[in-house]
Amino acid sequence: MLLVNFPSIEGCRRLSEEFKAAFMKDFRSYIRYPAWLIGDLVSTPLWYFFFAVGVTLFAPTTQTSEYHGSSFFFFGFIFIVLFSTIIWGVGQSVRNEQMAGTLEQFFLAPANRLTLIMGRWARIFVTDLLVIGYTAVLFRLFGGGPLPLYEPALFAFALGLFEVGSVGFGVLFAGLTMKLKSYTTLSNLIFFGYMILTGALVPVNVIPLPYRYVCLVIPFTYFIDLMRHAALLTPTILPESLEYLTGIIVAVIMFLVGLITFNWIEQDARVRGSIATN
Amino acid sequence: MVSGIKGTFGVLAAIFWKGMKHYVRYPGSLLIYLMLPFLFTMMILGMGSFIGGGNAVFNFAARTGSSNVLVYEMLGGAVWMTSWVVVEDVGVALRDEQMKGTLEQNFLAPVSRFTLLVGISLTDIAITTVIFLVVVGTTLAFTMPGAYLGFFQAFLMLLIGLIPLFGLGFFFSGFVIKFKEPYIFTQMVNLIFGTLTGTYYPVTILPYWVQFLSGVLPQTYVISNMRQIILANQSLVNLYGSIFILLALAVVYPTFGYLVFKKLEKDASVTGELSKY
């Protein structure tokens, strides 16, 4: 069901229509509640400001040319925003339908599950870009320093890998919400684990050694490292070409594992009759 | 209407235990409250160490006057988490009842609204006490084991600071019933509190106009006084000026919060907003 109709032209056309419909449905829900937009525009820069001011206390009192803390930290903020999309956007999409009592209609529709979830992802991704851009303007206005992007094409490629892997992870998580009802605690723990252990906010090489091994087995560490390398020319963990190859393989594996797991959980939930249980 | 000391205490006890049962039934939320101050502090320390390098603590001390980074940050984090609990619980409690369809039963019960709100707040006194004991107690036990007197005074400081905070909770409670969307609202409020009250930095580094806003929030005084008590060996007596301000806020905020709550509740009952979600 997940990959239905995909190879044919008709299938592709149908997929694009489903995607557009799913995107518009989520977009309409979003703009129906202006508080969501206001919340995004206020909360996201505040999170950044909250941490940035705290961290500034540790910075040298006289700034040197080698000091790239603010831009490094700003990119960390971007990585966190993107991941939060996956956890609370893609991951929670099924749970939201379940809570609203519309999950059965969602699953009964003659449409591809993945396309419906991707529609939600796309809407949140667009909103994220808006919020990141808006925060970047505030960052510059308040004297936050330069925000370099030395290799834009490579950055876009690394971002693409991040998104492919993340969507797989998000879909897997969306499936888990059909099994686990106490979703919030798990999502919070994963989110904070991500912030601390993937090198989003600090370079992996400053993380103490026993924990660094954990960082190195988390796929997101490499996506983040590649994006930061492309943006700020920081050194990569692995040799550059090897790290890109690793990133591609890991992203594809995460995507496939996410799809297969989601499919399996959905089938299991159908058999047990637990799809609508909330 | 339930009246008299015995009747009122009975109602308060019932609401208190109802709230406690929720926490026992869903321990994950308390676990998150206990973990967040540690997680946030770890992140700040990690990023700070990276940015400041070998001089990170020296730079921190130059700006804050204290080289005990861990205790300084954990005190702020613990107080922030207590205000988080109050906003999430008192502010959203009635909205939750609205979502479950039980708000009307609560409001039809022969209990005054004030008793209802105070009952919800009592649960939070217990929860914030647990947070304080675990977060600050653990930190001090490992870093400053002899500071038990300061620990006790800091706890008293927290209790004084909770009274105006509950007043803010009453205000949010009415606001949320009227305008819905509690979770976006509480997230914004929690962040504004965290940013303005000097959770991880002294408010003196903020612009003057922001410091003015910080000055009307009770947590600003609680955090600052706790740091003075534990890190600078001050006593509650020496800090009478800010304690006096806190006591004044403890009168102003609950009064103001309850009046706003009553006004918004009355409006909502006229327009039929109470049953809408």
Q: Is the pLDDT of residue B124 over 50?
A: yes
pLDDT of amino acid A36 = 76
Do the Cβ atoms of A35 and B185 come within 8 Å? yes
Measured in angstroms, the CA of A88 and the nearest CA of chain B are apart by 13
**A2 closest CA partner among A176, A118, A164, A133:** A118
Using the predicted structure, report yes or no on whether residue B134 has a pLDDT greater than 60. yes
- Return mean pLDDT, chain B: 86
What is this structure's pTM? 0.76
On chain A, the residues whose CB falls within 8 A of the CB of B44 are: 51, 54-55
Contacts of residue A154, defined as CB under 8 A and 6 or more positions apart, other chains included, come to A226, A229, A230
**Which CA distances in Å does B58 have to A60, A240, B205, B255?**
9, 36, 17, 44
Residues A191-247 have pLDDT tens digits of 878 887 888 877 888 777 788 888 888 999 999 999 999 988 888 899 989 999 999
Distance (Å, rounded) from C-alpha A4 to C-alpha A12? 10
In chain B, where are the structural domains located?
4-275
pLDDT, one tens digit per residue, over A118-172 is 888 888 888 888 888 888 888 777 766 778 888 889 999 999 999 999 889 988 8
Q: Identify the CA nearest to B41 among candidates B78, B10, B9.
A: B78
Token pair of A3, please?
């990959």
* A77 contacts on B by Cβ (under 8 Å): none
Domain locations in chain A as residue ranges:
10-54+68-272
- The two tokens of residue A154 are 């490579």
- A65 pLDDT higher than 50: no
Q: Does A59 touch chain B (CB under 8 A)?
A: yes
pLDDT attached to residue A33: 75
Phi, then psi, of A223 in degrees rounded to 5: -60, -45
**pLDDT value at residue A67:** 45
Smallest CA–CA distance, residue A102 to chain B, in Å, is 17
The minimal CB distance from B51 to the residues A39, A58, A184 is found for A58
CA gap A79, A237 in Å, rounded: 17
CA distance B146 to chain A (A): 27
- The minimal CB distance from B200 to the residues A54, A73, A188 is found for A54
Alpha-carbon span B21 to B59, nearest angstrom: 46
Chain A residue with CA closest to B66: the answer is A57
Average pLDDT, chain A: 81
Q: Give A36→chain B minimum CA distance, Å.
A: 7
> What residues of B are in contact with residue A202 (Cβ under 8 Å)?
46-47, 49-50
